[in-house]
Chain A
Amino acid sequence: MSSLNSHPDESALDLLFRAYRDACPAPEPSPQFMPRLWQRIEARQRYSSFFGRVARRFVTAGVALSLGMALYLAVPTSYSSLFTSESYVEALAGGRAADALDLELLHSDPFPVD
């Protein structure tokens, strides 16, 4: 790409980049490089396993809570269904009958004059 450019500064910039490479030689690793690296790896492993354990506990607690809620919601329904065995149509019919009784009482004279 550099060869395509004709700007007078282009070649000077290329030379400068090359000189920069020579001016920045690769540093020698310190004797502590590997021990420190393994320390960091082990620290990260401990950290992630700790959070993994915490996350697993949260999931377990969540599942237990969900089951508890489900049981709580399911039990009263089944419990009440033991006592109310009538169907919806039957309940509706019963309600109508009660309404009719109310209407009858409303139209009847509470103090009949003989």
Chain B
Amino acid sequence: MLVDFELIKRAQAGDDAAFSEIVLAYRKRILGTIARLIARPEDVEDVAQEVFLRLYFSLEQLRTAEVFEPWLYRLTVNAGYDYLRKQKRRMESRMSDLSEQQVMMADAAAGGRVDLEDQQQARTRELVDSLLDSVSEADRILLTLKEVEGLSLKELEKVYQVNENALKVRLFRARQRVLKAFGANRKNPHPKDAAKAEI
């Protein structure tokens, strides 16, 4: 826990200063989780604010301060899920729809300003994002929390409020789908280029 229970209780009682302290303590962690969940740096802060906004208006429903962190994770997961669903609705691949980071990468790559490590990291992000696109938004979030964020099954159980076996089954299936996409990607890393070459 990054904050003590007393602070949470004060925030529950309507103390805005206590709530601000909670936000300051958790915002970096939440920003990191959201950055990995949604993979669009320009919207990360907006989604994080949505998480804390939901926290502010639902804090009084929290029965015990001990479950605060899983509760906050659940709000994060829900906000990320809502964002990904909205994004899916407008999936047209236009230049204006590219993330700022992608545009910056494209510009910088064109100017030869990106060093090798940045290029490698950009490729990793692109590959994992495309692999996670092969599963549903719900599975994407679950896999990210487990495999990237490193949450244990016990922690996920508290976040999702489902039993461990159900989580294991869901994780296994999601992982199998990602593995299938990964295998296909390894055999043919650039299907669009290959298609162009055939033409």
Contact = CB atoms under 8 A, between A and B. Distances in A.
Interface in A1-46: 1, 5, 7, 9-10, 12-14, 16-17, 19-30, 33-34, 36-37, 40-41, 44
A95 B83 CA distance: 76
A19 to B, nearest CB: 5
A24 B36 contact: yes
Interface in B137-154: 147-150, 153
A7 B179 contact: yes
Given A1-B168, A27-B44, A29-B31, A20 B179 contact: no
A20 B182 contact: no
A13 B182 contact: yes
Given A9-B179, A33-B27, A41 B32 contact: no
Contact of B182 (A12, A30, A44): A12
A30 B125 contact: no
Interface of B is mostly: helix
Interface of A is mostly: helix
A9 B27 contact: no
Contacts of B39: 24
A21 B53 contact: no
> Size range of the interface on A?
20 to 34
A106 B45 CA distance: 96
Contacts of B183: 9
Contacts of A37: 23, 49, 52-53
Contacts of B153: 1
Given A26-B28, A29-B45, A37-B23, A20 B148 contact: yes
A20 B125 contact: yes
Nearest to B50: A40
A25 B23 contact: no
Interface of A: 1, 5, 7, 9-10, 12-14, 16-17, 19-30, 33-34, 36-37, 40-41, 44
Interface of B: 20, 23-24, 27-29, 31-32, 35-36, 39, 41, 44-45, 48-49, 52-53, 56-57, 121-122, 124-125, 127-128, 131, 147-150, 153, 168, 171-172, 175, 178-179, 182-183, 186
